[in-house]
Structure formats: structure tokens, C-alpha cells
Chain A
Amino acid sequence: MSEAFHAGPLRVRIETAEPSVREKLAETLALYDGTWEGPFDDVVLEARAVPGSATMVDGAYLRCARMSVNATAGEVHATTRCGAQMRSRGEQRQHWAIEVPETVVASAQLEELEDLVGLALTAGWRYAGWVPVHAAALVRGGICPIVCAGSGGGKSTITAALVRTGWRTLGDDKLLLRCDAQGPELRALLHTFNLHPRTREWFPEVGDLTLLPPYSSWTEKRKFRVDRTWPKTTAPHARPTHVVRMRRSSATRGIAVSELARAEIFPTLLKQIAIPSDRAEAAPILSTVARAVGSLRGLDIVVGDDAYRDGDCLSELERALER
């Protein structure tokens, strides 16, 4: 059985006879609801159940919490903790063969397929000329900050806060970046935020987030559709103007804003990108980031624990962005 999804510039087809595997792959791909015009690169995810489990590879290409990946000139080979594995076929890495242990299929513990899908997508996006960036971005009046922080660093909450004051968002943690003749360009991949249930304390209109499906087994965050609560606040693309380095501190009241040193802009953005240990793949990522930061300004913000209780907490940041 075959089923197709769009994920940014990719058209992804699932081929599997296993209903639960198909459902998990489809659920993962369905998150990418950003609107793209073609042309699309085709990617095939072909999955089957197998009797045995794969042994974890050493992760020389990429090491993730639940997945290790090796690569040779002709093949990428990923393995996950549950014994699933995935191999690419062809130089363009557009066909991926996934094998899931029958025991895992029977148990329906298929979360690690998300990691394999993420690997196939990031490879496809890079092949299509885009760099995946784990950051938030907003746009208003020609100003577009890329908000950089680690997981749990507050990207989603500040994005929601800015959306409430009239900004539109390209996403709270998944963006694609490239550079063309006009400079750096960002594209949105999905319009779902990952919000912590506590967000309701500051933004009551989000409602009881515990009623929504969880984002992952890693966090308490919930998948939250932005435009359901804040209509017409998503943007498909923008030209970035700023890099905003963000961290949280219990010692800060409100949101403290300062200039980010020019030399810090490149590492700040680079730290938001998963870079495979493969020279041929790392080089274009570095080159894209280097070209992008040439035109970007930097801001450093420190967000206090309860900053969003103050309805005016964003004004200094907004003034700094507009200067």
C-alpha cells in the first residue's frame, strides 16, 4: 500500500504492508503541514517487519539519543535502540528501506521510527539545497528574528508571546534556511507549536493543553496548532534580519536585552543545526550559515522565570529589533 505526504520541498511516499508502521510513519509526516509550491523531490520510505533485531552501529556519521548512523560513500545506515534499522539506496538518498523487528511491531512501541523519518527528511532537505535549523522565527514589517535556544530553552513560549502581539511565525523549532542572490531565506515546515501545559498560566486562551496529544515521550509539551487559537498568524517564508540568542534565568526579572557581539552570531546559529560528521555534507551547511550571518544583526536576551506575567515584557525586545 502506498501513501504520499509533503514535507517542505519533499514528497514522501510510504510503502509498507504493516498497518501500525504505516500509521506511525504517516502520523510523523502529517506534522509537516507548511505550504510549499513545487517542484518536489520524491522520497520513498519502504518499511517491513523482520524477524531479528539490528545491532547498533557506532554512530560515526551521527549519534542521537535513540539512533546511531554510519555512512559510506554509497549508503547511510541508521540503527535505533529498539533494533530497527534503515538504509538509503542510491546516491541521492531518496529511497530508504526500513526494517522493524516483528516484536517491536507487535508491541506497537514505534516511537523510534520518528528518528528514522527525521533522518530521511533532513537528508532530503539538504539534498534539495536547504539547511534544517532547530530554531524559532517570526516576522513583522520586514523584521525577522531567528530565535536560538536549546530544547526546553523557551523558544515556543516566546514565539507564542510574540504572536499575541502581532508577529507572524514560521515555526517554533523547525525551519529551513538557504541563501540565494537576495540573501538568506527561511521557510516554514509546520505550524504546530510544542507548548508546555504551564503556558496557560500566561496565555489563558491556549486552554488546557494536557488534553492535547503529547509531543514526545521526552517532555510534557503538547502539540498545539497555532492558527486554531491565533488565526492568520503563520507565515510561509521570510528573509531573516536578526539572530536572537536566548536563555532563561531565575535571576532575571522580565526580559533583559543586549546586543550580541558580531563574532557570536555565527556560532549561535551553528549550534542550532545538527551537523553530520561527513565533510561533504558539513561543508555546505557551514557555507550557508556563514553566508547567512553576514547580513544579520545579533541580540542576546535573558528571560526571567515568570517574565510573561508582565504584559509589557516584550517591549524592550521589540524596540531593539526595530532599531
Chain B
Amino acid sequence: MRVSPDFEDTATLGLRSDVVATVLEDGAVLLDLQTKYFYALNPSGWSIVQHFEAGSTTATVEAFARSCGAPDDGAVRAFVSALDAYGLLETTSAPTDSDAQAVPGTWAAPTIERQPEPLQRVLVSAFDPSIPLAE
């Protein structure tokens, strides 16, 4: 479910409404509630995703990254493409104010790593997330 193969720099993109983010000490995690995959982001990746939580454009996040010291090496665009390829973005209306913070410390290329296995989609019970065994 990609936004488009070659989304426009100026298209406003947002994190899908059923993707949840939480901050870890060294970045953040996104959980896609539809696919049950979760994704680890480094601090630079998280700072970019925060822009998309509020709605943003590729051009805007590239400008933000440059302001944080990112080189113009295509890494930010590749990161946004990865978010899109994983189906985490959707087109949205005009952006709202972002709470995104500058990356603490030195800028590093943003990374996103999908966990090899998604969480189970069919569970034993509301308490037990294991794979149900045959009765």
C-alpha cells in the first residue's frame, strides 16, 4: 500500500492512522497495527517520522535534515522511500505544527529496521498473544 511509486516532493504525507509510535532511549519504534510488523528507528529516523506524524513533505524533511547537519547524499529521501515502501505513509491534508525535535548529538543517516517477524495476528486469547495450538 504505497502512496505512489514516485511521490512528489511537495505532496503532504502523514504516518498512517493505524501506525503507533513510541520513543526508546536510542530512537523509537513504530508498530503497524494492520500488519503487526514493528520497526526500529534511529534518532534521526525518529526526528523525520515526527514530521510525518503532523503531516509533512519530502522537501520539508530534507530541509529539516540539512538544518541538523545532514549531508545532501540522498539518505533522507531513501529513508522516506523506505517508509513508503513499508506502507507506513499516506497522503494527508495540509501539515499541522510538528513537535519534531532536532536530533541530539551528531546527525547520522536515518535508518529503519523492520523486525523479521510480525506480532501474531491470531492469538490464543485477549491475554495470551501466542500462536493458537490445535485443540
Contact = CB atoms under 8 A, between A and B. Distances in A.
Interface stretch (A17-25, A245-253, A269-277): A269-277
A50 interface: no
A218 to B, nearest CB: 6
A321 interface: no
A210 interface: no
A142 B128 CA distance: 27
Contact of A122 (B23, B124, B127): B127
Nearest to B28: A290
A174 B135 CA distance: 21
A21 to B, nearest CB: 19
Contacts of A115: 125-126
Nearest to A111: B135
Interface string A26-67: 000000000000000000000000000000000000111111
Given A65-B124, A217-B135, A279 B119 contact: no
A173 B130 CA distance: 11
Please indicate which of the listed interface residues B17, B121, B124, B127 has the most CB atoms of chain A within 10 Å of its own CB: B127
B38 interface: yes
A174 B127 contact: yes
Contact of A62 (B23, B38, B126): B126
In the A-B complex, list the 5 residue pairs whose CB atoms are closest, starting with the nearest: A65-B132, A151-B130, A286-B22, A150-B130, A119-B126
Interface stretch (B29-37, B66-74, B77-85, B92-100): B29-37
B17 A279 contact: yes
Contacts of A211: none
13 contacts: A62-B126, A63-B123, A65-B125, A65-B132, A119-B126, A122-B126, A132-B127, A152-B133, A174-B127, A271-B119, A274-B123, A274-B125, A282-B20
B22 A64 contact: no
Please indicate which of the listed interface residues B23, B38, B115, B123 has the most CB atoms of chain A within 10 Å of its own CB: B123
Given A275-B33, A279-B18, A279-B20, 11 more contacts: A62-B123, A63-B123, A132-B127, A134-B130, A267-B115, A271-B119, A274-B127, A274-B128, A277-B34, A278-B33, A293-B24
Contact of A150 (B22, B31, B126, B131): B131
A283 interface: yes
Given A279-B20, A282-B33, A290-B22, A219 B133 contact: yes
Interface in A68-127: 69, 114-115, 118-119, 121-123
Interface residues of A, number: 44
B122 interface: yes
A263 B132 CA distance: 27
B23 to A, nearest CB: 6
Contacts of A132: 127
B6 interface: no
Nearest to A174: B127
Contacts of B24: 266, 290, 293-294
Nearest to B133: A218
A310 to B, nearest CB: 28
B33 A290 contact: no
Nearest to B24: A290
Interface in A200-220: 217-219
A263 B130 contact: no
A96 to B, nearest CB: 12
Contacts of A173: 128
B101 to A, nearest CB: 17
A70 to B, nearest CB: 13
A218 B133 CA distance: 7
A64 B31 CA distance: 19
A315 interface: no
Interface string B51-79: 00000000000000000000000000000
